[in-house]
Every structure is written in structure tokens, then in C-alpha cells.
Chain A
């Protein structure tokens, strides 16, 4: 290899390494390490706040607290299609999305519409002081009711 070729290779190589490093640093810089977002864990209050056989939406936290005949469960209120906030229609007994018309029943099972998946069930438990707690970041595969 001639001296010129060697230096060209060195030059191109170091620019390539610098470009790769810049890409890595850029990616890291653009990914925030700390998010100042609301906690995924929601205190849904005392169980007796919820009437028997009711579906209650909290639009701030985007969860439904459903009180079924034999216990409580929590559903995500975020449509699985494109992330709109759904609403419960008490007269029809269904959950409907205003954006593109997806419909779900009270268990989150899809009835119709473009949504690809049912509304996920979220982990729910009773805190030490008897409040219903919901972890929005934790969808549960096995449907379990919280009995009070």
C-alpha cells in the first residue's frame, strides 16, 4: 500500500468512526432518561365509590374502573387502534371510540371497528389502606377480578 492510500484510508476511517459515534451520541441525547410524566400507578379511591355493576371512566388517567357482580377490574381506556380516549356509553352498555368508531364491550372485548386488539386489562390491587390501585404500565394477560 502506498503512503497516500494509507493516509486516505486513515482519514476516511476516522471520519466514519466519528460519524458512527455522533449517531450513537445523537440517539442517546434525543432519548430522554427522565420523564416528567404522571406516574403509571393510579390511586382509584375506595371501592365503595363505585356503584354495583358500573363502568367509571377517569379521563385524566385514561382508565375504566369496572365493578362487576363479583369484583373489580381496571381497563385501559386508550383505544388499541391509534390511541384515542374511548368513552363508555351507558345506554348501549358498550365502550366506543370517537376517532374511528371502534366498539368494545364492558370486558374490553372488541365488538367492531378498526381496533386490532381488545382493551387491555390492567393490574389492580388493594392498597394497605383499602384503596383500589391500578398500574397502567402493567397489562395482565389472565383476567383476574379484585374481590373486596
Chain B
């Protein structure tokens, strides 16, 4: 049975249409495996080979992968939430309540989005600490650390802009306080606040701007920098393998 299933899979993979998409074809050789990774637009960001110990739990605690996982959950749930949400005053609050009480599975999607957002911020910090305390930020990986700092800021800005969207009291005052913090920038602080809010108060313009930032600009920035972040792992020689275990061990 296993053999027939295997034959069937092989037949599909040898099929002309399949081969036109996935060119590496069947085979267990290192060349086939390498081609499989190298010829896939998503996988080619990663190394075709990795040290076994860099894939073990202890090396990374999988914190970067988990962060990316929460990001994927946030994209999927966020797009679904967008189907019911109007970024207008006062409709936004009503839509948020509709998602909680009227839309089927709405409360599940909203809470999944919310908790994933919290988890992502937590995981980004945990990932950062893990990288820091392992010393994995050092040469030649220092530029990827900088990309990581950019991603930390994008994550925090995504959290902050998403915070306004329920348009409740908590959201309103949090963004009032936050935008006033932005106005503490020397010389151009009040101008930054004006551009951020699209006005002098947290109002319809601010809601729309935060919505566009939250749903379009910042996710695109995150995807771009995540791609660079992953690609740099390959370019910097794979995941940091750790200090040599002792004399005679391979670095």
C-alpha cells in the first residue's frame, strides 16, 4: 500500500505539468534536495544546507520561527477582520462590537488577532534576547541585527496603530497620549503629530491614517524586512552555531 502511494506520488511529481512548476523532480540525492530549496521562490531565501545543531531546539528555541508564525496568523485574521470593519467614526466601534456579538466566529478571529499581536511582541523581544545572550549578533551577523531592530520597531508600530482601530475609550486615550509623546520631538514635534493624526485631534482622519498604516504600509514594510532578514541568515553563513564546544571541536 505504502509502495503504491509512493508510486502515485512519484507519478504526479514526474507529470509534465508538475515538472513545469517544480523543476527539481523526484530523487533523494543531495542535488535534488538542494535544487528543491534553491528553485522555490520562497525557500530560496534559506540555505540549501544547514548544520544539524542549528536546527535543534536549544540553538534558537525556534523564537524567530514562532514570531513569523504569529505574523502569518495576524495577516490571515487581519484580512478576515477587514471584511467587516469600516474605518470611520462612529461605525468602527459598532463594527468591532458586531464582530464580537453578531458575526459568526467573529469573536474568535478578533481574539486570535489580539492575542497573536500580544504574542508577537513578546516573541520578538524573546528572540532578541536569545540572539543577544548567545552572541549571535556578532560579526558577520551585525547587519541582520540591525534589520531585526527595524522589525522590532515595525512590530511596535503595528501594535500601536492597531490599538486605535476599535475606537473605544481605551483606544482613543492611548492614541491621544501616544501622539502627544510624538509631539515631544524637538522643533518638529507638533508637525509630526499633525501629519500622524491628519489634524489637531484624534478624529476621523487619524482613524483612517492609522487604518492605512496598520493594514497596508506597515505590513508591507514588515514583509519586506522579514524577507531581507531571512535572506541574510543564508548570506551570513546560516544560523549561528554557537561557541565551539571546546578544544578540537569544529567552529
Name A residues whose Cβ lies closer than 8 Å to a Cβ of B: 27, 30-32, 35-37, 81-84, 99
Q: How far is the CB of B161 from chain A (nearest CB, A)?
A: 15
Q: Which A-chain residue is minimally distant from B195 (CB atoms)?
A: A30
From known contacts A31-B194, A36-B204, infer whether A84 and B177 are also in contact, taking CB-CB under 8 Å: yes
Report the Cα distance A35→B203, complex, angstroms: 10
Q: Which residues of A contact B176 (CB under 8 A)?
A: 82-84
| Interface bits B192-215 vs A (CB < 8 Å: 1, else 0) | 001100111101110000000000
Contact A35 B200, beta carbon cutoff 8 Å: yes
Q: How far is the CB of A59 from chain B (nearest CB, A)?
A: 12
Number of interface residues of B (CB under 8 A): 15
Q: Which residues of B contact A32 (CB under 8 A)?
A: 198-199, 205
Give 24 pairs: A residue, B residue, CB < 8 Å, sorted on A.
Answer: A30-B195, A30-B198, A31-B194, A31-B195, A32-B199, A32-B205, A35-B199, A35-B200, A35-B205, A36-B204, A37-B199, A37-B200, A37-B203, A81-B180, A82-B177, A82-B180, A82-B181, A83-B176, A83-B179, A83-B180, A84-B173, A84-B177, A99-B173, A99-B177
Q: Which residues of A contact B179 (CB under 8 A)?
A: 83
Q: How far is the CB of A137 from chain B (nearest CB, A)?
A: 9
Q: How far is the CB of A131 from chain B (nearest CB, A)?
A: 24
Q: Which residues of A contact B181 (CB under 8 A)?
A: 82
Query: Which residues in window 159-181 of B have CB below 8 A to A?
Result: 173, 176-177, 179-181
In addition to A30-B195, A82-B181, 6 A-B residue pairs with Cβ atoms within 8 Å of each other are A27-B195, A32-B199, A35-B199, A81-B180, A83-B177, A99-B177
Report the Cα distance A27→B179, complex, angstroms: 18
| Interface bits B93-109 vs A (CB < 8 Å: 1, else 0) | 00000000000000000
Q: Which A-chain residue is minimally distant from B194 (CB atoms)?
A: A31
Say whether chain B's binding surface is mostly helix, strand, loop, or mixed. helix
Q: How far is the CB of A67 from chain B (nearest CB, A)?
A: 27
Q: Which residues of B contact A83 (CB under 8 A)?
A: 176-177, 179-180
Q: How far is the CB of A38 from chain B (nearest CB, A)?
A: 9
Q: Which A-chain residue is minimally distant from B179 (CB atoms)?
A: A83
Q: How far is the CB of A35 from chain B (nearest CB, A)?
A: 5
Report the Cα distance A25→B167, complex, angstroms: 31
Q: Which residues of A contact B201 (CB under 8 A)?
A: 37
Q: Which residues of A contact B199 (CB under 8 A)?
A: 32, 35, 37
Q: Which residues of A contact B203 (CB under 8 A)?
A: 37
Q: Which A-chain residue is minimally distant from B193 (CB atoms)?
A: A83
Q: How far is the CB of B114 from chain A (nearest CB, A)?
A: 23
Q: Which residues of B contact A99 (CB under 8 A)?
A: 173, 177
Q: Which residues of B contact A31 (CB under 8 A)?
A: 194-195
Q: How far is the CB of A83 from chain B (nearest CB, A)?
A: 4
Report the Cα distance A80→B195, complex, angstroms: 20
Q: Which A-chain residue is minimally distant from B204 (CB atoms)?
A: A36
Report the Cα distance A37→B199, complex, angstroms: 8
Q: Which residues of A contact B177 (CB under 8 A)?
A: 82-84, 99
Q: Which residues of A contact B173 (CB under 8 A)?
A: 84, 99
Report the Cα distance A130→B40, complex, angstroms: 77
Q: How far is the CB of A18 from chain B (nearest CB, A)?
A: 22
Q: How far is the CB of A55 from chain B (nearest CB, A)?
A: 22
Q: How far is the CB of A100 from chain B (nearest CB, A)?
A: 8
Report the Cα distance A30→B195, complex, angstroms: 6
Report the Cα distance A147→B120, complex, angstroms: 58
- Which of A30, A32, A82, A83 gathers the greatest number of chain B CB atoms within 10 Å? A83
Report the Cα distance A36→B88, complex, angstroms: 14
Report the Cα distance A117→B205, complex, angstroms: 28
Q: Which A-chain residue is minimally distant from B198 (CB atoms)?
A: A32
